[in-house]
A = this chain, B = another copy of it.
Amino acid sequence: MARLGIIAGGGGLPVALAAADPGAQCVGFEGIATDLPSDRLQMHRFERLGALFDALRGAGVTRVVMAGAMSRPAFDPAALDPVTTALLPRLTAAMQQGDDQLLRFVITLFEDQGFEVVGAADLLPDLTAAPGLLAGPEPGASARGDVAQARAILDALSPLDVGQGCVVAGGLCLGVETLQGTDALLRFVGNTPAALRGDRRGVLVKRPKAGQDLRVDMPAIGPDTIRAAVDAGLEGIAIAARATVLIDRPSLLSACAEHGLFLLAEP
């Protein structure tokens, strides 16, 4: 039986994967916070990827899934093992690229070592949503227009490896998601001066970039996203059906209902 390795970052997704597969080997990294209990985690270091690959193979792992938020790590050159040292030129080059290139490189790393890389949504199909209105009121024509405009902006940016999220309100773009992530975007939107924003509410659209490898970097929203969207004054969120992870779906949907925020999954 193919044992699964869970390469765990922060947030609820690694926890959900670990709960669904009690036999999985969970891996954490020094300096990267996770919500998994320490007795389920085998800790590794980015500087010692050789030790990581050996440990996974030794534990009978043949498939790995990467899940959860990880910041770009600081490397301690003194701690490097030979495997990592050999990879260093390609690794540092990849780290200077956008997220897509870096993650594609990390997938290649594991595949070159003989591991199959699988996506969290393939393991847990219920993580994503079928098309339709998932929660909240049916969006009106103005909100639908804002969703379309935000999608057009994301489509335009997609070839440039920018933008998993965009906020449009009453036809005006209030923010584009960049490196800092969705929460930072929503805080920025919430700080828009009233003299500029008027009474516009607006929508957040979150979708994968064109060509994005959904095995390692699927957009995700959770109850925190809903709260941040409410704080930013938005009226709804539109996500990509079957390509956006819903973290803690029951809490997420009830938070939408409580605040009257629509959540729409679009093909």
Contact = CB atoms under 8 A, between A and B. Distances in A.
B156 A159 contact: yes
A193 B172 contact: no
A179 B188 contact: no
Contacts of A156: 156-157, 159-160
A52 B214 CA distance: 57
A44 interface: no
B178 A173 contact: yes
Interface stretch (A113-121, A194-202, A223-231): A194-202
27 contacts: A71-B193, A71-B195, A71-B196, A72-B196, A74-B198, A96-B170, A96-B171, A97-B171, A98-B171, A149-B160, A153-B157, A153-B160, A153-B162, A156-B156, A162-B173, A172-B178, A173-B178, A174-B178, A174-B180, A175-B176, A175-B178, A176-B178, A179-B192, A180-B188, A180-B193, A184-B191, A184-B192
Nearest to A157: B156
Contacts of A173: 98, 160, 162-163, 178-179
Assembly stoichiometry (copies): 2
A152 interface: yes
**Contact-size category for A:** 20 to 34
Contacts of A157: 153, 156-157
Interface of A: 71-72, 74, 96-98, 149, 152-153, 156-157, 159-160, 162-163, 170-176, 178-180, 184, 188, 191-193, 195-198
Given A71-B193, A160-B173, A174-B180, 15 more contacts: A71-B195, A71-B196, A72-B196, A96-B170, A96-B171, A98-B172, A149-B160, A156-B157, A156-B159, A156-B160, A176-B176, A180-B191, A180-B193, A184-B188, A184-B191
B195 A180 contact: no
A195 B152 CA distance: 31
Contacts of A192: 179-180, 184
A77 to B, nearest CB: 15
A178 B176 CA distance: 8
Nearest to A158: B156
A159 B149 CA distance: 12
A72 B198 contact: yes
Contacts of A175: 176, 178
